[in-house]
């Protein structure tokens, strides 16, 4: 049972990490345009490594 | 692209000329670029986004564009001095329907903040309930003694701060209700959460067996989900309504010493002289002091034919100036105008409407006291059975409060409304009022306005095929020189015909009369018959030197989907009535075309409201569909009302739903969805009743453990949410 001493803080910590990530997404307005974001993902305008023509 | 990427302020010639450059640079930078909001009602896909964004970036004056597809809106950062109109014209050339929005009217910030706040609490509750649930699983799996206590303490450490933060909206609203000596849904919710947390803490301290931290948290979580959906739906409707209002940035042209300045309508005062150009709407009530024109009063009276005005005539806010520029002296502004007077009638009728009790409210009125009573009975009975064991009795009472989780009310109704209004939004209908859908599901009669509602309110030429080619070609050439709706109708009709080429010169528009031009040395006139031929009426004629007159006849065209909608209503045996302020002939014609047995013409605004009032007194639940200011009072009196988006703001305010799409047949979708939504809500209440009738006895005899509570509560919440998704 000693392993719980590590596992519980780890699980709570991971959860807290998720919560922080959620706060960040909300602060950076990522829920403002869900439909637009779903459509934008299909566009190649923001491609980091575009194929050479 | 940010502001700093742009040429420095010193590049602007105006800045160099000024002595205090530093101050000037500072000022220019803050004013450098500004945001323009553009409404894009027709965009729907990824290629629309890139079309708009790439298309606008081609313009030199545009610095940045961001399209929001959810709101069908674009935020455009433009260089100073750029007119929103240039952006709109550019977009129209690219094939996108666009309209500029007034930034000042568009203050949806407050509701956004609330939604964000609720989402934050929702996220925290979700995080905590997951973690506590995880710890609870260990306890349910059979942890005992010191291990169980440790898990309980850990749960408490996560749950208590979370409840303090996340459940605040319920505590606040519940407390407010108690202080006003009322009971609302938030009272049992707050009590359940607080008692569950308090009792669990007590059990933890005394190393008891059961703690309900997870139940308190998941209750908070599910109910916040419902609250969030509710808020989201309302803020969508509100921001859409604000957007509609922002479409008409109200400005006026004030004439001072021969110069005209654009001013806000709110800055116009009585006695000011305003210039109203042809095609513009009169912003205030006033008297014509210069010029002559024709007015479109369809919004006020329902009358489709334009009315001629000259010096001395009275004009009202909301009328549209058709042919000639007018100078008017303001006699009433803002709240004193006739337009606002009509809008005020609405607020009186609105009062009556807000008394409508939604299904959820009615259920909550029974539910809240019932749950409290039940918990109290449980406590008293167990006190008697255990001969005064407060701890056991309180445990039972808390288990009862938790297990009668009001998820069906707190989550299911908002979920159904959100799905329903989301579906309607996609079909081009905005639900403005919270109880509009419920009222729409109950209607048993429909009353329509004519002009602008069943018809487009713009005339079309009815006899193009009977016209001699030569005369038609001449008329079309003349019509191009005028903005009059009939001229537009002639020009539009001519597009479909192969007409000979005619050249006319010296086109002059005579306000209130018609258009005159030279053709092969002769004077050609298109306009009122009495002006063209020297005699006759106000019908439209073409004449060459007063001879060879050709008559043009016009008719208002039906809105798309009107016939379909009426057929649908007939199929469902819903009586339909036509109530119009227009003259008898066009109304009778339309009633015949659409097969509407009951109609009234020439109805005054107050009479319209009286007809609706009489129907209401007779116990009828009427849906009123209308767009004019003359309909405003009637819209407010009706059980539920729909206005097209083309209506004036005052009218849209009075309506419960706004039809954004031009297609009238969408109204039958709204009727179907409203019925379906009502059915789902009632079904969800049924689910809740069945669930409670099983869960309450179990909790009452003391068999409810935190595990059974968690399973039962989640199952009922998921069940009602899934049922809500069936709303179509």
Can you tell me the ipTM of this complex?
A: 0.80
Give the per-residue pLDDT at B638.
Answer: 87
- Catalytic, B285? Answer no
Tell me which of B149, B230, B449, B656 is the catalytic residue.
Answer: B449
Measured between alpha carbons, how far is B56 from B50 in angstroms, rounded to an integer?
10
The stretch B670-689 carries a mean pLDDT of 90
**Contact (CB, 8 A) for B407 and B716:** yes
B419, two tokens? 């799905």
Per DSSP, what are the bridge partners of residue B38?
Answer: B74, B100
The pairs formed by B196-205 with CB atoms below 8 angstroms and a separation of 24 or more are B196/B398, B196/B401, B196/B402, B197/B159, B197/B160, B197/B163, B199/B394, B199/B395, B199/B398, B200/B152, B200/B155, B200/B156, B200/B159, B201/B156, B201/B160, B202/B391, B203/B152, B203/B395, B204/B149, B204/B152, B204/B153, B204/B155, B204/B156
> Tokens 């009328």 correspond to what residue?
B319
B590, two tokens? 């339309």
B685, two tokens? 């209440």
Give the per-residue pLDDT at B17.
Answer: 40
Query: Percent of chain B having pLDDT more than 90?
Result: 5
pLDDT, tens digit only, all 53 positions of chain A: 677 778 888 888 888 898 899 889 888 878 878 888 888 877 766 555 555 54
Q: For helices A4-27 and B145-166, give the axis angle rounded to 10 degrees.
A: 10
The stretch B693-716 carries a mean pLDDT of 84
The dihedrals phi and psi of B294, each to the nearest 5 degrees, come to -120, 145
Residue B333's contacts (CB-CB under 8 Å, 6 or more residues apart) are B265, B268, B269, B270, B284, B285
Residue B381's contacts (CB-CB under 8 Å, 6 or more residues apart) are B700
Q: Quick one: pLDDT band at residue B266, thresholds 50, 70, 90?
A: confident
Per DSSP, what are the bridge partners of residue B309?
Answer: B293
B271: region left, alpha or beta (phi > 0 left; psi from -120 to 50 alpha)? left
Q: Pick the range with the lowest mean pLDDT from B124-133, B153-162, B491-500, B543-552.
A: B543-552
Q: Quick one: pLDDT band at residue B159, thresholds 50, 70, 90?
A: very high
Encode pLDDT of B109-140 as tens digits. Answer: 556 777 788 888 999 999 898 888 888 888 88
* B165 has a pLDDT exceeding 90: yes
Partner residue facing B70 (CB), from A18, A34, A45: A34
A17 and B CB contact within 8 Å:
no
Chain B neighbors of A1, CB-CB under 8 A: 147
* B548 has a pLDDT exceeding 80: no
Give the per-residue pLDDT at B162.
Answer: 93
The stretch B252-257 carries a mean pLDDT of 80
H or E element: which one contains B351?
helix B338-353
B157 and A CB contact within 8 Å:
no
Partner residue facing A45 (CB), from B50, B135, B147: B50
A7 and B CB contact within 8 Å:
no
Distances (CA, A) of B612 to B194, B342, B603: 49, 16, 12
Of B244-253, B351-360, B376-385, give the range with the top mean pLDDT. B376-385
State the smallest CA–CA distance between residue B721 and chain A in angstroms: 21
Encode pLDDT of B43-84 as tens digits. Answer: 777 788 888 888 888 888 888 888 888 777 888 888 877 777
Residue B280's contacts (CB-CB under 8 Å, 6 or more residues apart) are B320, B321
Measured between alpha carbons, how far is B442 from B228 in angstroms, rounded to an integer?
27
Strand order in the sheet with B505-510: B505-510, B514-519, B522-528, B540-544, B547-552
In DSSP notation, B56-72 reads: HHTSTTEEEEEEETTTT
> How many Cα neighbours within 13 Å face the side chain of B98?
27
Chain A neighbors of B158, CB-CB under 8 A: 12
Chain A neighbors of B147, CB-CB under 8 A: 1
Q: Give me chain B's average pLDDT, please.
A: 79
Encode pLDDT of B9-35 as tens digits. Answer: 444 444 444 444 444 444 444 456 777
Indicate the DSSP class of residue B703: -
**Contact (CB, 8 A) for B580 and B599:** yes
Query: Percent of chain B having pLDDT more than 70?
Result: 86
Q: Which residue of B has its CA nearest to A11?
A: B131
Asked if A15 and B130 come within 8 Å (Cβ–Cβ), the reply is: yes
Q: Are strands B293-296 and B259-264 parallel, antiparallel or unpaired?
A: unpaired
Give the per-residue pLDDT at B672.
Answer: 92
Query: Measured on CA atoms in the order B700, B705, B710, B716, is the torsion positive or negative?
Result: negative
Measured between alpha carbons, how far is B508 from A19 in angstroms, rounded to an integer?
70
Measured between alpha carbons, how far is B228 from B236 in angstroms, rounded to an integer?
12
The stretch B386-407 carries a mean pLDDT of 82
The stretch B214-239 carries a mean pLDDT of 81
Query: Measured on CA atoms in the order B364, B369, B370, B374, is the torsion positive or negative?
Result: positive
Asked if B46 and A39 come within 8 Å (Cβ–Cβ), the reply is: yes
The stretch B359-374 carries a mean pLDDT of 81
């Amino acid at each position: 049972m000693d392993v719980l001493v590590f596992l519980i803080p780890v699980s709570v910590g991971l959860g807290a990490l998720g919560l922080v990530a959620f706060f960040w997404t909300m602060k950076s307005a990522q829920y403002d345009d869900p439909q637009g974001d779903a459509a934008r993902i299909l566009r190649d305008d923001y491609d980091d490594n575009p194929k050479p023509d | 692209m940010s502001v700093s990427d742009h040429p420095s302020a010193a590049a602007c010639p105006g800045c160099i000329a000024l002595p205090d450059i530093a101050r000037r640079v500072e000022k220019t930078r803050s004013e450098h670029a500004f945001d323009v909001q553009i409404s894009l009602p027709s965009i729907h896909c990824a290629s629309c986004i890139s079309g708009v964004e790439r298309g606008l970036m081609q313009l030199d004056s545009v610095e940045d564009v961001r399209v929001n597809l959810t709101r069908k809106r674009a935020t455009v950062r433009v260089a100073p001095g750029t007119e929103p109109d240039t952006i709109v014209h550019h977009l129209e050339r690219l094939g996108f329907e666009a309209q500029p929005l007034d930034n000042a009217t568009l203050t949806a910030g407050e509701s956004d903040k609330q939604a964000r706040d609720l989402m934050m609490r929702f996220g925290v509750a979700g995080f905590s309930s997951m973690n506590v649930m995880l710890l609870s699983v260990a306890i349910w799996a059979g942890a005992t003694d010191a291990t169980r206590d440790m898990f309980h303490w850990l749960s408490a450490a996560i749950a208590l701060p979370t409840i303090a933060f996340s459940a605040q909206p319920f505590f606040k609203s519940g407390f407010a209700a108690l202080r006003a000596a009322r009971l609302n849904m938030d009272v049992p919710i707050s009590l359940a959460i607080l008692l569950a947390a308090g009792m669990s803490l007590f059990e933890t301290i005394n190393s008891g067996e059961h703690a309900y931290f997870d139940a308190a948290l998941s209750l908070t979580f599910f109910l916040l989900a419902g609250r969030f959906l509710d808020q989201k739906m309302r803020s969508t409707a509100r921001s859409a309504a604000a957007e509609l209002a922002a479409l008409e940035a109200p400005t006026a042209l004030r004439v001072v010493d021969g110069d005209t300045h654009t001013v806000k309508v709110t800055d116009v005062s009585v006695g000011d002289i305003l210039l109203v150009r042809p095609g513009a709407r009169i912003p205030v009530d006033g008297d014509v002091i210069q010029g002559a024109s024709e007015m479109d009063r369809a919004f006020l009276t329902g009358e489709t034919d334009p009315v001629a005005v000259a010096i001395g005539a009275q004009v009202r806010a909301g009328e549209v100036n058709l042919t000639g520029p007018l100078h008017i002296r303001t006699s009433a502004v803002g709240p004193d105008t006739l337009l606002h007077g009509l809008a005020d009638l609405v607020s009186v009728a609105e009062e009556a409407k807000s008394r409508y009790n939604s299904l959820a409210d009615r259920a909550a009125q029974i539910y809240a006291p019932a749950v409290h009573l039940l918990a109290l009975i449980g406590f008293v009975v167990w006190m008697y059975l255990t001969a005064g064991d407060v701890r056991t009795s309180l445990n039972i009472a808390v288990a009862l409060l938790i297990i009668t989780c009001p998820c069906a009310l707190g989550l299911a109704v908002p979920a159904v409304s959100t799905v329903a209004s989301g579906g309607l939004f996609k079909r081009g209908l905005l639900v403005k009022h919270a109880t509009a859908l419920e009222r729409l599901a109950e209607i048993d009669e429909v009353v329509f306005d004519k002009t602008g509602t069943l018809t487009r309110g713009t005339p079309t030429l009815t006899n193009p095929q009977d016209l001699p080619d030569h005369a038609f070609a001449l008329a079309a050439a003349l019509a191009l020189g005028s903005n009059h709706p009939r001229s537009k109708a002639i020009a539009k009709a001519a597009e479909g015909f192969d007409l000979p080429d005619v050249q006319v010169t010296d086109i002059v528009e005579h306000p209130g009369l018609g258009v005159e031009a030279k053709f092969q040395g002769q004077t050609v006139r298109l306009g009122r018959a009495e002006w063209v031929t020297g005699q006759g009426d106000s019908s439209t004629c073409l004449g060459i030197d007063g001879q060879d007159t050709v008559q043009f006849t016009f008719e208002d065209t039906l809105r798309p989907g009107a016939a379909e909608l009426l057929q649908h209503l007939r199929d469902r045996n819903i009586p339909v009535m036509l109530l119009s302020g227009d003259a008898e002939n066009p109304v009778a014609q339309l009633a015949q075309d659409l097969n509407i047995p009951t109609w009234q013409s020439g109805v005054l605004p107050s009479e319209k409201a009286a007809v609706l009032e009489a129907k209401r007194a007779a116990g009828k639940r009427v849906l009123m569909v209308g767009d004019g200011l003359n309909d405003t009072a009637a819209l407010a009196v009706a059980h539920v009302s729909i206005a097209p988006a083309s209506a004036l703001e005052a009218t849209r305010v009075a309506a419960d739903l706004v039809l954004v799409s031009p297609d009238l047949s969408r109204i039958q979708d709204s009727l179907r969805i409203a019925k379906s939504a009502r059915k789902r809500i009632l079904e969800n209440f049924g689910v809740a009743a069945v669930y409670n009738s099983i869960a309450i006895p179990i909790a009452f005899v003391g068999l409810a453990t935190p595990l059974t509570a968690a399973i039962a509560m989640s199952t009922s919440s998921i069940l009602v949410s899934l049922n809500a998704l069936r709303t179509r």
